[in-house]
Structure 1
Amino acid sequence: MTVHSQGAATSAPQDAPPKSAGRPKAPLAGAGRTTGTPRRGRASLPSGWLPYALIAPAVVSIAGLLLYPLVKNILLSFQQVNKIELIQRKAPFIGLDNYTQLLGESRFWTVVVRSFAFTAANVVLIMVLGSLIGILLNRLGTKMRLVLSLALVMAWAMPIVASVTVFQWLFDEQFGVVNWLMRTLGFAGYEQHNWFESGFSTLVIITVLVVWGSVPFVALNMYAGLTTVGAELYEAAKMDGANGWQTFWKVVFPNLKPFFLVTTFLEVIWVFKAFTQVYAMRSGGPDRASETLPVFAYIEGQAQQHYGLAAAISVLTILMLVVVMSFYFRLILKQEEEQ
């Protein structure tokens, strides 16, 4: 017999199960949950072979597009493949003869020195001008910043061949704007002046072209990096009496040091392997005096049909670039350890 809270008595069998044994009540929120036990229905992280299977297509694609041509190019550098070998369909292995021939030629070392000087001049100008324009973007108002940003993007997005054509017209002997401007300013000797009469002057014009097309990337990235520097740092530097240069060197540069390292690293690679600007401007002329290593390899391979020698030039170019970049890798790794 049980007694309700109202006092009414009812009889029930003695062997009747208690009410708690009937329909189970809905558990309270958080009840029965143990720490560290995954919730039912949630997929666990992949383990074992599954991650490797997911990245396998990308690895195979990269190996097919990059690794296989690289291996074939290295093998070709140890072979003698000229016009006669192409006709006879033979490619005898000659060991290190291609490398010995290149390393013993003064013309090869002239091109190497020219390539490094061309890269250094371009990278310095690109980083300096790009940083200054990035600082200018950070100081301008909204409307002028938008106008300058659009101009930078249009210069950056212009196809290389189209920009080379424009620069060829600007420095043309008869109808060039530069010759007309120099005559208008009163300078003598610019009546049908040939700006491409020497390899040095040709490389100077190519440098202007490369810098003009590469500065927007550095400037826009510099402006994006400056937006991460807090205004309180500028105010603290101003209160300490720092001028503009001291503020940049003591406040901006330490905060944007990773940006400068990575951007310089990318610019060195892009300028060192620049091919279209140099070849489309004057095909490495005059008299092959404006050749850089990529153009030198192309002319030796396609024009002279010395394919084994051209492959050796490309392999040596890669090795030189890796050696140069190893210093930047060390700086980047050191920067990451300091953070």
Structure 2
Amino acid sequence: MSVQTKRTDTGTAAAPGVRKTDVPPPGDPTGPGPGRRRGGASAPYLLLLPGLLATVVLLGWPLVKNGILSFQNLNPRQLILHLTEWRGFDNYTDVLGSTDFWKVVQRTVVFTAVNVVLIMVLGTLMGLLLARLGKRMRLLLLLGLVLAWAMPVVAATTVYQWLFAQRFGVVNWLLAKAGWSSMADYNWFGTQLSTFSVIILVIVWQSIPFVAINLYAATTTIPKELYEAASLDGAGTWKSFTSVTFPFLRPFLWATTFLEVIWVFKAFPQIFAINMGGPDRLTETLPIYAFVEGPGNQHYGMGAAISFLTILILLGLTAYYLRTVLKQEEDEL
């Protein structure tokens, strides 16, 4: 038995029981035509537009102003008299020709590397521990991590100053009670190494929760069947980690490591609040160095040049990271 279809006014065939008004006309954005495709393709860009505008206004314009300032000779005299004295590239020449600048760059790189290695190793171990704990212990540990993560940076730094205070610090008191009587009055902020030790402790303590919680969330996406298959093949704990867990977590570890490098590289409040880059400016990193040479010495053009060079270094790290990620994606394809 043949089924006869009715024709609409537009010349197209309609299925039995389908009214003329149910078929969207050509070009209707609600239908499957080109209008619908164009609207769907532009939707992601429209959603990104507010964020891009906010970035341009809040970040792009200050960056442009900082770049212009880095070519000027600006001090209190110029500010009071509203003078604009251009120095060209002299600020950059003075900075790049200074041995102090390169010492600070080297110190910043070493400081960043030590922090990132400790953060990633301890954060990964903590995340894997969260994946293996029971529900109650996991909730308790997550609560502690969130509280440490949510604590304001300056407040956390102040607490560590109290803990490592020379006369009434808890750390010195505990060390003295444990038998190290020479540590009863130890000045943790009197040498470069001990000051950096306290700063690293603060930064690592505040950064571990971000890595641990996100890594634990990533482990929940790994199919259980893969672990069962690995166990049937005789794989132990370490073999299961290297063959199942680590391949799934590799993109997360790359992204998190990159974020931690940026966050530690530009760390300012922890270092400045602990000892303002002391003793004898031996714990200054690039952000502290830019602040001291700029607003601290009232040579704002020099400080702007140092901060702009810091941004260029971060952009170089970003470019290297993106190149590595794109290369990995090409290899996987």
TMscore range, shorter length: 0.7 to 0.9
Whole-angstrom distance in 1 between the partners of 2:53 and 2:148:
36
Q: Displacement of 1:64 after TM fit?
A: 1.7
Q: Where do residues 91-106 of structure 1 align in structure 2 (5 Å cutoff)?
A: 91-106=84-99
Contact 1:153 1:216 in 2 (8 A): yes
Partner in structure 1 of residue 201 of structure 2: 208
CA–CA distance in 2 between the matches of 1:163 and 1:54?
36
Q: State whether structure 2 residue 291 is matched by structure 1 residue 303.
A: no
Equivalence for 2:4: none
1:8 counterpart residue number:
none
- Identity, in percent, stands at 51
In structure 2, do the counterparts of structure 1 residues 228 and 311 end up closer, same or farther at CA, with 3 Å as the change threshold?
same
Q: Counterparts of 1:265 and 1:30 in 2: how far apart (Å)?
A: 56
Q: Does 1:242 align with 2:230?
A: no
Counterpart CA distance in 1 for 2:52 and 2:219 is 36
Structure 1 pair 41/86, CA: closer, same or farther in 2 (3 Å)?
A: closer
Q: Tell me the residue number matched to 1:82.
A: 75
For 1:35 and 1:254, how far apart are their aligned partners in 2?
Answer: 49
Change in CA separation of 1:115 and 1:142 when aligned onto 2, cut-off 3 Å: same
Could you say which residue in structure 2 is the equivalent of 1:133? 126
* 1:42 is aligned to 2:11: no
Q: Aligned pair in 2 of structure 1 residues 281, 38: CA closer, same or farther (>3 Å)? A: farther
Q: Which residue of 1 aligns with 2:320?
A: 327
Map of 1:150 onto structure 2: 143
Shift in alpha-carbon separation, 1:221–1:313, aligned structure 2, 3 A: same
Q: Which residue of 1 aligns with 2:5?
A: none
Root-mean-square deviation (CA), in Å? 2.7
In 2, the alpha carbon distance for the partners of 1:247 and 1:196 equals 44
After TM superposition, list the pairs within 5 Å mapping 1:275-294 onto structure 2.
275-294=268-287
Structure 2 residue 104 is the aligned partner of structure 1 residue 116: no
* Structure 2 Cα separation of the partners of residues 41 and 64 of structure 1: 33
Offset from partner CA, 1:164-183 (integer Å, 9 cap, x none): 11100110111111111111
Larger relative helix fraction:
2
Alignment partners' CA distance in 1, 2:297 and 2:324: 40
d(CA) in 1 for partners of 2:170, 2:64 = 47
Task: Answer yes or no: is 1:230 the counterpart of 2:218.
Answer: no
Question: Helix, strand or coil: the match of 1:189?
Answer: helix
Q: How far off is 1:59 after superposition?
A: 3.9
Q: Within the alignment, does 1:318 sit opposite 2:318 as a pair? A: no
Greater C-alpha radius of gyration: 1
What is the CA–CA distance in structure 2 between the aligned matches of 1:296 and 1:286, rounded to whole Å? 13
Letter in 1 for 2:95: L
Asked if the contact 2:175–2:184 (Cα under 8 Å) also holds between the matched residues in 1, the reply is no
- 1:235 aligned partner, one-letter code: E
CA, structure 1 residues 232+101, in 2 after alignment: closer, same or farther (shift >3 Å)? same
Which one is further off, 90-99 or 36-45?
A: 36-45
Which residue of structure 1 aligns with residue 59 of structure 2? 66
Judge conservation of contact 1:258–1:335 (CA < 8 Å) in 2. no
What TM-score, normalized to structure 1?
A: 0.85
Q: Which runs of 5+ in 1 are unaligned?
A: 1-26
In structure 1, C-alpha distance between the alignment counterparts of 2:228 and 2:119, rounded to whole Å: 29
Q: Deviations over 1:257-289 (max 9, x none)?
A: 110111111111111111111111111111111
Equivalent residue, structure 2, for 1:29: 17
1:246 shift after superposition: 2.6
Q: 1:29 to 1:149 in 2, by over 3 A?
A: farther
Distance in structure 2 (CA, Å) of the matches to 1:314 and 1:271 = 15
The corresponding residue for 2:3 is: none
Aligned partner of 1:133: which letter?
A: M
The one-letter amino acid paired with 2:187 is: N
Q: CA deviation at 1:84?
A: 2.4
Q: Deviations over 1:15-34 (max 9, x none)?
A: xxxxxxxxxxxx84346699
The count of corresponding residues between Structure 1 and Structure 2 is: 314
**SS at the partner of 2:168?**
coil
Equivalent-residue separation in structure 2 for 1:99 and 1:306 (angstroms): 13
Q: Is the 8 A contact 1:156 1:217 kept in 2?
A: yes
CA distance change for structure 1 residues 55 and 270 in 2, over 3 Å: closer, same or farther?
closer
Paired with 1:332 and 1:36, the residues of 2 have a C-alpha distance of 44
> Which one of the candidate residues 179, 183, 191 is aligned to 2:184?
191
Structure 2 length normalisation: TM-score? 0.86
1:255 & 1:55 partners in 2: Cα distance?
A: 28
